[in-house]
Structure 1
Amino acid sequence: MEISRTGDKSGNEHEEAKLQNASRQIVHTAIQQAVKQLSQENQQKAKGTNSSVSLQLERGELTKKHEKK
């Protein structure tokens, strides 16, 4: 049984389009996950910075620096 060239070509094009769509979806998902991870890391860093400042305030370290000026 022989497949006509036009049928084979459109079948290949259809498969290629499906692969391209799947690839786009994979890339889109990976980008979303990376953005989410960066956002979470930045929030954790901000919390750490705020905690550090709060701890310095409790110890009086920040006020001492300001008094020197």
Structure 2
Amino acid sequence: CLVLTGEKPGPEQDEVKLQNASKQIVQTAILQAVQQVSRENQQKEKRTNSSVSLQLERGKLTKKHEKK
């Protein structure tokens, strides 16, 4: 049986591979979730900015100094 330096033989090596694969899956899932939240926040901000712009154009909102 040939064992490379730093590698565990047999089932222990398989367990390490499974652990590494699991870590990678979790890291990928977290990254995707963070990216999705970021995209959703950007879309929400765009909608809010668009709504404010439309309200300003229609005269529904005024500047603070004009309210006095």
* Rg comparison, structure with higher value: 1
TM-score strictly above 0.5? yes
Q: Quote the Cα distance in structure 2 between the aligned partners of 1:41 and 1:55.
A: 21
Q: Quote the Cα distance in structure 1 between the aligned partners of 2:10 and 2:33.
A: 35
Post-superposition offset of 1:52: 0.5
- Give the TM-score of the pair, scaled to structure 1: 0.77
- Give the TM-score of the pair, scaled to structure 2: 0.78
Aligned to 2:30: 31
Aligned to 1:43: 42
Q: Where do 1:1-69 residues align within 5 Å? A: 10-63=9-62
Q: Quote the Cα distance in structure 1 between the aligned partners of 2:67 and 2:43.
A: 31
Q: Which ranges in structure 1 are unaligned for 5 or more consecutive residues?
A: 1-8
Q: Which ranges in structure 2 are unaligned for 5 or more consecutive residues?
A: 1-7
| Structure with greater helix share of residues | 1
- Percent identical pairs in the alignment equals 75
Q: Which has the higher contact order (CA 8 A, sep 6+)?
A: 1
Segments of 4+ moved more than 4 angstroms:
65-69
